[in-house]
Amino acid sequence: MSKQKTSVIVKNKTASRNFILGDSYQAGIVLEGWEVKSLRDGRVDVKDCYVTLKKNEAWLIGMKIDPPASLRHEVIDPTRSRKLLLNKKEIKQLSETIEQKSLTCVLTSVYWKENHIKCDLSIGKGKKHRDQRQDIKTRDWERDQGRILKNAKNNSHPTKNFK
């Protein structure tokens, strides 16, 4: 059994902050040569990415890939729509889920899988502002709780009495 090498290029941190994420899918992306070169350098922004379905095809909207320095003089659209490579069954599941439950599909990460660039998509429901505040409160409380337990553990060691 061969081990698959994966290395993350970029993660969409705002997706988990702004959405309650559910089912996830893995998809390939149709890219041009200069886009792959820029992805190797990590010159990509996925903050506002989402997926739309048009004519039984999945399209990634809002992914910004900066062109390399050698192509700066050419007219290139860094935020063009990119086609996602999914099975018909997966596209059908996506479309049914999105239409029935009025959810959205967002990009969560882009990574290398062997010699291919793949991305993870998740179905998400938008969080309200109060939900985001509650997440911050729980995260802060867990951090404080860890500090309290750490300090309590350090102070509970008995001291050795020397005679």
- CATH code of the domain occupying 9-127: 2.40.280.10
Q: C-alpha 31: how far from its chain's center?
A: 18
Of the candidates 130, 135, 123, 139, the residue with the CA atom closest to the CA atom of residue 15: 123
> Any idea which residue has 């997440």 for tokens?
135
Task: Please give the helix or strand (H or E) that residue 13 lies within, else none.
Answer: helix 13-18
pLDDT at residue 128 greater than cutoff 80? no
0.95 exceeded by pTM: no
Per domain, the residue ranges of the chain are 9-127
Higher per-residue pLDDT: 155 or 32: 32
| pLDDT at residue 1, rounded to an integer | 43
Q: What pLDDT score was predicted for residue 17?
A: 83
Tens-digit pLDDT profile for residues 22-36: 888 999 999 988 889
